[in-house]
Structure 1
Amino acid sequence: MATLEDVLLPDIGDFSDVEIIEILVAPGDRIAPEQSLLTLESDKASIEIPSPLGGEVKEVLVSVGERISQGKLLMRVATGSAGASAESGAASNSGGDQAESTPKPETAPAPSSPSVPSSAQPRTPEPAPSAQPSANQPPTRAPGEAERRKAPILPRPEDMAAIAHGRTPHASPAVRRFARELGVDLHRVKGSGRKQRILKDDVQQFVKQSLAAGTAAAAPGAPFQLPSAPAVDFSQFGPVTSEPLPRIKKISGAHLHRCWLTVPHVTQFDEADITELEAFRKGQKAAAEKAGVRLTFMPFLLKAVATALGQMPVVKASLAPDCEQLIHKHYCHIGVAVDTPKGLVVPVVRNVDQKGLFALAEELMTLSQKARDGKLLAADMQGGVFSISSLGGIGGTAFTPIVNAPEVAILGVSRTEMKPVWNGQDFKPRLMLPLSLSYDHRVVDGADGVRFTSLLRQLLSDIRRLLL
């Protein structure tokens, strides 16, 4: 008789709670020793677990996606098939109890069969003629052998693609990381390794083919495959001219397009009363001229934003590339959008929280002049944790600024307007500044967005709060 053996997860080193990504056998399959049973995947490697014995799989006790550790019962396997065959042969000679307990299917008796010794005569009055196979027709399968099943119809490639849809691609963690760095969706890559495992060469080949075909190897974080705009011959409607797009707009355009598609934007609108702040700024005009700087509203806004970011650091954080960790920054560099004849650039003012108003005014003047002269260096536009885009000098009442990823928020400032504001007793004319805060909703939720604009509004309404 076959013996039912338990197959346990062996010692796999320092790993524990390892996820099962593939089960390679099913109940009814016959397996050989060292044949792979299932595949585990840790954060460092993929591991195939071999069978310690041979036999027939009777029961699989784990499932894909389950996390297991050493000693976990994986499946039960029936072993000793050869012994079972010998026992079955002996039982056919001895008859006896086995003929009584296990009835055999009836077959035509052989025309001539050898006599059975008296010591092996069955106890029942009538012998079981089916215990002996026909001499002319051999049995269809050996005793103890599993019934032979008809081979299934081979699936088509499109059938396999439909079955595999939604499954985790079969690749090692190193290959997954390599694919993420290149922006490749592994679901679209065909593996050439054992059991269709995706190798590094497969990813490289897929990228080469995509580039040759002129298509993008879409990553999970950027799944949009938008159709290109149809070409339009505008000359059929009237005279036209064309000119090359400025280099700054080419670079910033691609970046803004990516940010708009990959960052879930939310924009929060508010107004700040800057009547007293504007009066104070004008009062310091002479002192600023004496220091050789032009004191605009922007240094005050920078200081207020830096104070608000210090109290709400999540607004100056960034999302890790794997979208599973939040990176907090313990510095305060703020980018300020500058309009130039060649396009929009965003130089970064560093350590805003550590500088005074006159120092910020001087640095803004220097960066703005370098931007207009086209002399900004790459380092001058890197390292920002937050951005400000001010259109107040041009006009407008509100707008939706695009988050400058990997930052998670940007503040838009529009033209100030004198408005009647109710103070509880009567209406008073107050200078109101429109605020438009766009943020990445994966990091900043709606409540934090409102808290930030409310805090900024309070700081701008009473600049004495900047000293607290």
Structure 2
Amino acid sequence: MSNIVEIKVPDIGDFDSVEVIEILVAVGDKIEAEQSLITVESDKASMEIPASVGGVVKALKVKLGDKVSQGSEILEVEVTGGAPKAAPAPAPEPAEPAAPAPAPVSAPAAPAPMASSAPDRTSPTAAFAEADMPLRNLPHASPSVRHFARELGVNLSQVTGSGPKNRIMADDVRAYVKQALSTGGTSPVGSTVPAGGGFSVLGWPKVDFTKFGEIESKPLSRIKKISGANLHRNWVMIPHVTNNDVADITELEALRQQLNVENKKSGAKVTMLAFLIKAVVAALKKYPEFNASLDGDNLVLKRYFHIGFAADTPNGLVVPVIRDADKKGVMELAAETSELAGLAREGKLSPSQMQGGCFSISSLGGIGGTDFTPIINAPEVAILGVSRSAMQPVWDGKGFQPRLMLPLSLSYDHRVIDGAAAARFNAYLAGLLADFRRIIL
């Protein structure tokens, strides 16, 4: 003998109209009394709602995103044999006495319309968890930590909590991400294979764009295909942080213009990039961890100074490398960057001219912008982004003076470099550009 029992949301305290964030069972599942059925979350806490009786799930009455309160129907269970044994459990639910009357009428028809929600076992808290993973006994974490984990795509069941009673803290999620990145876990675009232990990448959306209007299909250039794959890997694998600062280059710009006037006959033109390379080399000597690469658990510190610079070409971005920049003067650096940029635009750079870089500079000064986040060129650990300089009023202690200010955006690998070191590097670099005489000190 069997009968249908409706399981409802019991007394959950002061919470009213809370969101269903997980459905832990499906139609056809055999459940036991006290087994978790759904997880609800308010702005203060998340909790699992247990079954008051055991049996076979016949119909689901909720779906992800629904708002429920005390007395809301969760599902229908077919109880066989052991119904009297589990009967006392529904007692705390005030709405339960009214349930027997409608239950026999709705039981036959309910499973059909609700069947479409049965496969929806996606758990936002578990962050794309595998379908065969048991979605119960949720990790102990606050709603804010669950939200943080969802944003990062972290499966909380893979994270070890360091808080009281193994509660997962935000720092535990950060530590897990850092460990996953250091072990090299990633998934290619379009893959759903878990990467790094708890990461997975959703499949790329397939859209028929012709349904919405006229289109033109244009293949990516060879350079963009290669650089795109590298940029994707670098962004996913390296925990980027960007430090923004400004440098007063009023006097340096005046010097640059003066040198160009003096060398007008020779045809050699000094660019701000040449000064930047010279200043970066000095900063790398003072802060050697920026002139390094990660090799497993070892940090490889380099004693040479090969500086790459991003060159814009009709086919895409390439990064020629100035070798032994520490042994060259500003005029030599200006001439070599000009020559390499010309070869890049003509597509004549050799592979050797784009290898061996220690640190890169990406300058958008000739185009515009105020700040941006340049992507680190692995296996380097930092890159300097330079935006357009602009005249700004700067307080000198007595009044505002017009000064030419250059924005500096330093992206760095947080596994190697901490925020304080990055701020010091950027401040030191800005100081060198403000008074270039410090280069000789």
TM-score category, normalised to shorter length: 0.5 to 0.7
CA deviations on 1:244-303 (whole Å, 9 max, x unpaired) are 110100000011001111100100000000000001111111333344321111101110
Whole-Å separation in 1 of the counterparts to 2:185 and 2:279 = 42
Q: 1:441 aligns with which of 389, 404, 414?
A: 414
Match of 2:79 in 1: none
Match of 2:245 in 1: 270
Match of 1:425 in 2: 398
Q: 1:268 to 1:276 in 2, by over 3 A?
A: same
Match of 2:140 in 1: none
Amino acid at match of 2:390: E
CA deviations on 1:381-430 (whole Å, 9 max, x unpaired) are 11001000000100000001111111000000000010000000011000
Q: 2:328 aligns with which of 341, 355, 363?
A: 355
Are 1:457 and 2:430 matched, yes or no? yes
Whole-Å separation in 2 of the counterparts to 1:359 and 1:286 = 17
Q: 1:289 aligns with which of 252, 264, 268?
A: 264
Matched length: 266
Are 1:392 and 2:355 matched, yes or no? no
Contact 1:183/1:217 (<8 A) preserved: no
Amino acid at match of 2:288: P
What are the residue-to-residue correspondences of 1:360-399 with 2, within 5 Å? 360-399=333-372
Amino acid at match of 2:230: H
Amino acid at match of 1:242: S
| 1:395 alignment partner, SS class | coil
Amino acid at match of 2:257: K
Q: 1:230 aligns with which of 178, 191, 205?
A: 205
Amino acid at match of 1:273: D
CA deviations on 1:354-380 (whole Å, 9 max, x unpaired) are 101111111011100110000111111
What are the residue-to-residue correspondences of 1:209-220 with 2, within 5 Å? 220=196
Unmatched segments (≥5 aa) in structure 1: 1-156, 160-164, 167-181, 186-209
CA deviations on 1:81-101 (whole Å, 9 max, x unpaired) are xxxxxxxxxxxxxxxxxxxxx
Whole-Å separation in 2 of the counterparts to 1:364 and 1:259 = 25
Once the two structures are TM-superposed, the CA of residue 215 in structure 1 deviates from its matched residue by 5.8
Match of 1:314 in 2: 289
Whole-Å separation in 1 of the counterparts to 2:133 and 2:411 = 44
Moved over 4 A (4+): 182-185, 214-220
Amino acid at match of 1:241: E
Whole-Å separation in 1 of the counterparts to 2:219 and 2:351 = 23
Q: 1:250 aligns with which of 207, 216, 225?
A: 225
Q: 1:241 aligns with which of 201, 211, 216?
A: 216
Whole-Å separation in 1 of the counterparts to 2:193 and 2:213 = 39
Whole-Å separation in 1 of the counterparts to 2:311 and 2:422 = 25
| 2:348 alignment partner, SS class | coil
Contact 2:305/2:325 (<8 A) preserved: yes
Unmatched segments (≥5 aa) in structure 2: 1-131, 135-156, 159-182
Q: 1:428 to 1:399 in 2, by over 3 A?
A: same
| 2:223 alignment partner, SS class | helix
Once the two structures are TM-superposed, the CA of residue 239 in structure 1 deviates from its matched residue by 0.7
Whole-Å separation in 2 of the counterparts to 1:309 and 1:343 = 28
| 2:228 alignment partner, SS class | helix
Task: Using structure 2 for the length normalisation, give the TM-score.
Answer: 0.57
Contact 1:183/1:218 (<8 A) preserved: no
Amino acid at match of 1:318: S
Contact 1:288/1:358 (<8 A) preserved: no
Once the two structures are TM-superposed, the CA of residue 219 in structure 1 deviates from its matched residue by 6.5
Whole-Å separation in 2 of the counterparts to 1:456 and 1:331 = 19
Whole-Å separation in 1 of the counterparts to 2:198 and 2:357 = 27
Amino acid at match of 1:334: I
Whole-Å separation in 1 of the counterparts to 2:133 and 2:392 = 66
Match of 1:340 in 2: 313
| 1:327 alignment partner, SS class | strand
| 2:204 alignment partner, SS class | coil
Are 1:329 and 2:302 matched, yes or no? yes
Whole-Å separation in 2 of the counterparts to 1:224 and 1:439 = 23
| 2:264 alignment partner, SS class | helix
Cα RMSD (Å): 2.8
Q: 1:381 to 1:219 in 2, by over 3 A?
A: farther
Q: 1:369 to 1:183 in 2, by over 3 A?
A: same
Once the two structures are TM-superposed, the CA of residue 216 in structure 1 deviates from its matched residue by 8.5
Q: 1:379 to 1:224 in 2, by over 3 A?
A: farther
Q: 1:287 to 1:217 in 2, by over 3 A?
A: farther
